[in-house]
């Protein structure tokens, strides 16, 4: 029985376009943030801010998660991906509909192209969820990571359905509650149900593997799984039927317990690691997990509502979303890019040559100085940008987002260097 995932992995041409699209999206995202910095000082229901949020959540984060999951599902679920063709169709449909969706949102053009793009996005997400579900049904793996991935995919589907309903509601109002009520539901199922759940699931498997650690308590992860799903289900049904956020703090605290248990698992993994010298990918991953403390703190302030009714409450809300998407998740993805992408490309280009001739190592496929540089610039740019939101300082927002463009540019250089790394055939007669 083959207990390894490599031979079950899909071809590189299924996975790599996701990384390329996501890297470009990250660059475009940072440019748009720079150009629309002033939007970060107003209400979050702003076309520019909503476009930026969707480009971050879908074009950058979800796109790379899709690609990475197609590669990692065989490793985590120990089963072959259900359909490579469906994965290819999903990519094209998701990419095309996202561009149309982003264009409509940016210009606040809410006609039929907007509804069409939202429908196509939902369809592509449905294809992705179907692919994950049938892959999972082939697997006998009962690990908690598999549960996180399957549940996360369901929450993504719920998020997309809500998104489509809201896009229709903007031009043909039919929903019973205020639009912002659904927006909050949409945001929480997207961030907590999809992004956070996938990070917790995949992280619980990959981080111990990369650190050569026996990991933390699996029991903690299982409790974390039930807490986060319980919190989301409670919040979702409560708000949907009562249209009230009065009990929001209860669900937030339950979700917070889930995050704390995940962080406990990571701390235990870190302490037990055999690999003392952490490479750059792991350093960025650990830094991202530390940065999770910021959205946790800001989110607590938002949910307690100490500044409710003041303009600072709006700043806090925007900072909360920014600290999740641009801070914690983006750095996590950048770090994990350096752990997964070189491996995928190396496997594709050099895997068959291993043992036959000297090959570069996965870490040789990118420029480490560039990677180090954008990590340091990120650690400078992000606090400046977040301070700009909290202090309502446009200059700080401009400096922070300008530096983020540099981060994205350097990241793109390395991503495309890895993807296009040449295979130089050795001449055995030399």
Q: Which of residues 267-306 bind other proteins (CB under 8 A)?
A: 274-277
Half-sphere exposure of 259 (CA within 13 A, CB side): 25
Q: State how far the Cα of 388 lies from the Cα of 271, in Å rounded to an integer.
A: 35
Cβ neighbours, 10 Å, residue 215 = 19
Assess 78 for contact with other proteins (CB under 8 A): yes
Q: Give 54 or 205: the residue with its C-beta nearer to other proteins.
A: 205
Q: Which of residues 48-77 bind other proteins (CB under 8 A)?
A: 75-76
Assess 2 for contact with other proteins (CB under 8 A): yes
Structure tokens at 201: 């699931």
Q: Give 315 or 340: the residue with its C-beta nearer to other proteins.
A: 340
Cβ distance 29 to 408 under 8 Å?
yes
DSSP string, 363-418: GGGS-HHHHHHHHHHHHHHHHHHHHHHHHT-HHHHHHHHHHHHHHHHHHHHHHHHH
Which of 19, 148, 343, 366 is the binder for other proteins (CB under 8 A)?
Answer: 343
Q: How far is the CB of 62 from other proteins (least distance, A)?
A: 22
The site map against other proteins for 214-233 (x = CB under 8 A) is: x-------------------
Assess 363 for contact with other proteins (CB under 8 A): yes
Assess 351 for contact with other proteins (CB under 8 A): yes
Cβ distance 132 to 83 under 8 Å?
no
Assess 352 for contact with other proteins (CB under 8 A): yes
Q: How far is the CB of 28 from other proteins (least distance, A)?
A: 30
DSSP run (H or E) holding 27: helix 12-35
Q: Give 178 or 364: the residue with its C-beta nearer to other proteins.
A: 364
Q: Give 18 or 186: the residue with its C-beta nearer to other proteins.
A: 18
Q: State how far the Cα of 391 lies from the Cα of 75, in Å rounded to an integer.
A: 45
Q: Give 212 or 306: the residue with its C-beta nearer to other proteins.
A: 212
3-state secondary structure string across 95-131: HHHHHHHHHHHHCCCCCHHHHHHHHHHHHHHHHHHHH
Task: Give the footprint of other proteins on this chain (CB under 8 A).
Answer: 2-7, 75-76, 78, 205, 208-210, 212, 214, 274-277, 343, 346-347, 351-352, 354-356, 359, 361-363
């Amino acid at each position: 029985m083959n207990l390894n995932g490599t031979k079950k992995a899909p071809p590189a041409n299924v996975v790599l376009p996701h990384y390329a699209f996501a890297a470009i999206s990250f660059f475009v995202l940072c440019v748009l943030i720079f150009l629309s910095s002033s939007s970060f000082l107003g209400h979050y229901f702003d076309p520019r801010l909503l476009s930026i949020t969707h480009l971050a959540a879908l074009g950058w984060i979800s796109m790379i998660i899709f690609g990475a999951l197609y590669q990692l599902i065989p490793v985590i679920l120990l089963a072959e991906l259900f359909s490579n063709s469906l994965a290819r169709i999903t990519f094209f449909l998701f990419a095309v509909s996202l561009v149309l969706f982003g264009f409509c949102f940016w210009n606040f053009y809410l006609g039929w192209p907007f509804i069409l793009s939202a429908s196509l996005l939902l369809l592509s997400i449905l294809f992705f969820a179907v692919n994950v579900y049938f892959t999972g049904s082939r697997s006998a793996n009962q690990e908690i990571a598999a549960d996180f991935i399957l549940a996360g995919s369901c929450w993504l589907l719920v998020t997309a359905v809500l998104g489509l309903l809201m896009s229709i509601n903007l031009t043909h109002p039919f929903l019973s509650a205020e639009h912002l009520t659904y927006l909050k539901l949409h945001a929480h199922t997207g961030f907590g149900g999809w992004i956070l759940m996938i990070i917790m699931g995949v992280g619980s498997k990959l981080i111990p593997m990369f650190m050569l650690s026996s990991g933390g308590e699996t029991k903690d992860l299982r409790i974390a799984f039930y807490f986060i799903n319980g919190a989301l289900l409670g919040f979702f049904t409560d708000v949907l039927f009562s249209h009230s956020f009065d009990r929001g703090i209860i669900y937030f605290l339950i979700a917070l317990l889930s995050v704390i248990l995940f962080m406990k698992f990571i701390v235990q993994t870190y302490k037990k690691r055999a690999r003392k010298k952490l490479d750059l990918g792991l350093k960025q991953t650990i830094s991202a997990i530390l940065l999770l403390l910021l959205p946790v703190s800001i989110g607590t302030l938002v949910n307690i509502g100490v500044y409710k009714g003041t303009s600072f409450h709006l700043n806090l809300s925007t900072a909360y979303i920014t600290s999740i998407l641009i801070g914690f998740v983006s750095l996590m993805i950048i770090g994990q890019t350096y752990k997964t992408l070189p491996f995928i490309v190396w496997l594709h280009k050099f895997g068959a040559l291993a043992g036959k001739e000297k090959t570069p190592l996965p870490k040789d496929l990118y420029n480490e100085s560039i990677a180090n540089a954008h990590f340091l610039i990120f650690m400078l740019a992000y606090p400046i940008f977040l301070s700009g939101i909290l202090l309502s300082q446009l200059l700080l927002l401009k400096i922070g987002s300008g530096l983020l463009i540099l981060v994205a540019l350097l990241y793109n250089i390395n991503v495309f260097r890895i993807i296009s790394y040449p295979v130089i055939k050795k001449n055995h007669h030399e």
